[in-house]
Amino acid sequence: MRHVFGLNEAAANVAGGLQRPTLAPVWLAFLAIALDLPTFATALWFAQYGSLAPPDFEPLDAAIRGFMTAAASIALLAFGDGYSLRSLRKPWQAAFWAFFALAGPVALAGVSLPHTEAFDFLLAAAVSVAAVVIPIRLVEAQVVAWIIDAGLAQRRAVVAGGGEHAVRLIRGLAARANSDVHICGIFDDRDDVRSPLQVLGVPKIGGYDELIEFVRQSEIDMVIISLPLEAEERINWLLNSFKVLPVEVRLSAFSQNYAFAPRSRDPLIPAIRGTFAAERRLVKRAFDVIGAAMALCVLWPVMVVAAIAIRLETRGPVFFRQKRHGYNDRIINVLKFRSMYVEAMDPTARRVVTRNDPRVTRVGRFLRRSSIDELPQLFNVLSGQLSLVGPRPHAVDALSSRQERFSTIVDGYSARHRLPPGITGWAQIHGLRGEIDVADKLHARFEHDLYYIENWSIWLDLMILLRTPLSLLQNRTAY
């Protein structure tokens, strides 16, 4: 029995129970830091309040000094692995390292005070910090322990390949201390004799083609290929198939005796470049939210003028919504300023906009050439559907000028959806935007998108944003 979305009933049922993502360790560390920073700063403020006499005590100066000291201490703590789950789960060890990290910055803060009051400040700081660090670490340890024991911080994985090699993988992971990998299912094209329906309690729920659709419809963190390493041709075929997925793809390296030497190394070998770890996603998301908020503060007058111009020229709504491919090939609704006459709007993008297209209004032509029509997508960025920088999202049913689907022109085209799509991107600043009238244009965009995904950094995003206005002035391919 096939599910309506291409999954069999077993796979669809498992996917239905995996709709919410797990808590990545970096998010728990971020929450711990968000709690520690104001708490440590407040404790240090009270230490100054209790040890300094006017005029040496100024409330605002004390707050700034306390915040800077707390921030420096937390930076040292984070650099020293003090916010790992392993450290946070041990309250007394975590409290000791917190005191150790605070000691240096607090001492430096004390040096800046009058000599007669420095000792009083250090003593008051020790008491104040102790009064908050120990309770906080006890509470955090209990919360982290509950999160780990409840499986909320596990890395969910599915296995490509069953049989004896899946047995070795599952046993090997179970034997490793502190393993956070949870196997949710096995996918294999082989029959039930060579690949049993269940391996150590883990069910086989589909074939390799269904694995891709399963990852599209669920919150999975990793795909593990569990095949003999000598099966090079089969592994390469799987890697080529899985390159469209945004999750980590790894090879199992467990040997015959279910071990991996040396044991300190990760037995799951990264196999495909361009997948985003949780730490990188957090950095990119923070960059997007801050950048989009700042852009809206600056560009809102332009957006208001554009909206008024649209309403004055033609009747109909100011905004235009279109379904496009988003992260992991999921469908999102992208917001734009309307640039066509109402009766000519094409939400499915079945007909490409060409030079002097009669469907485009005069105001719309200017908005499209200047890319002002894209500015409402800043709201999509704030909602998490888009990023400031990334591969441009194409309409779900978009066609080239020759009425060809993009996926038929470029093999593995959805590999560009391994990252949230962006308002601008590496391809766009190189002039690759507008009409697709020949296949080479789409191939060039695809290659630029893959380069961006595989070489992403926050500095690359910043450089693309800075170059975008100049590229808009130089480009004449958007109609």
Question: 3-state DSSP call for residue 184?
Answer: strand
Tell me the per-residue pLDDT of 163-218, one tens digit each, with 9 for 90 and over: 888 888 988 888 877 778 889 999 998 887 788 888 888 999 988 888 988 998 88
Give pLDDT, residue 402.
Answer: 62
Give pLDDT, residue 125.
Answer: 82
DSSP H or E stretch at residue 185: strand 181-187
Domains of the chain and CATH, by start: 9-21+154-270 (3.40.50.20), 25-149 (no CATH), 278-474 (no CATH)
C-alpha span between 135 and 415 (Å, rounded): 47
State which residues of the chain have pLDDT below 70: 1-6, 56, 112-117, 255-265, 274-275, 348-352, 354, 398-410, 434-438, 474-479
Q: In what order do the strands lie in the sheet with 248-252?
A: 198-199, 202-206, 181-187, 155-160, 222-225, 248-252, 268-270
Report CA dihedral (440, 444, 447, 451) to the nearest 10 degrees: 170
Give pLDDT, residue 262.
Answer: 55
Question: 3-state DSSP call for residue 84?
Answer: coil
pTM beyond 0.85: the answer is no
Tell me the per-residue pLDDT of 235-246, one tens digit each, with 9 for 90 and over: 889 988 888 888
Give pLDDT, residue 2.
Answer: 39
- 374 closest CA partner among 393, 351, 355, 359: 393
Give pLDDT, residue 4.
Answer: 40
